[in-house]
Amino acid sequence: MTTVWMRYLSGADIDSLGITDADIVAAVEDVLADHGNGRVVFEPRTHLVPDNGGRGHFNVLRGSLTDKGVSGVKVVGDFVSNYERGLPSEMALISLFDPETGMPKAIVDGTMITEARTGAMTAVGAKHLARRDAKVLGHVGARGTAWWNVVLLDSVFDFAEIRVTSRRPESREPFAERLTERLGKPVTVCTTWEETLDGADVLVEASRLTEPEPLLRKEFLRPGSFLVPYGTISALALDLLDDVDKIVVDNWRESRSGNPRFGALRPHLNAGLLTEDRIHAEIGDIVAGHKPGRESETERTLFWHRGLSTTDLAVARMILHRAEAKDVGTMLPYR
Mean pLDDT for back-to-back runs of 10 residues, the chain (335 residues): 89 97 97 98 90 91 97 93 85 96 96 94 98 97 90 97 92 94 97 95 92 92 96 91 97 86 90 96 98 97 95 98 98 88
**Has this prediction a pTM greater than 0.85?**
yes
**pLDDT single digits (tens) 70-86:** 999 999 998 988 888 88
Strands 330-333 and 5-9: antiparallel
| pLDDT value at residue 285 | 98
Alpha-carbon 85 to chain mean position: 24
**pLDDT single digits (tens) 157-186:** 999 999 999 988 888 999 999 999 999 999
d(C-alpha 260, C-alpha 218), whole Å: 23
Q: 164 φ, ψ to 5°?
A: -135, 155
| pLDDT value at residue 96 | 98
The answer to whether the beta carbons of residues 309 and 43 sit under 8 Å apart is yes
Burial (CB count <10 Å: 0-12, 13-18, 19+), residue 241: middle
| pLDDT value at residue 1 | 64
Nearest to 228 by CA among 333, 127, 91, 311: 127
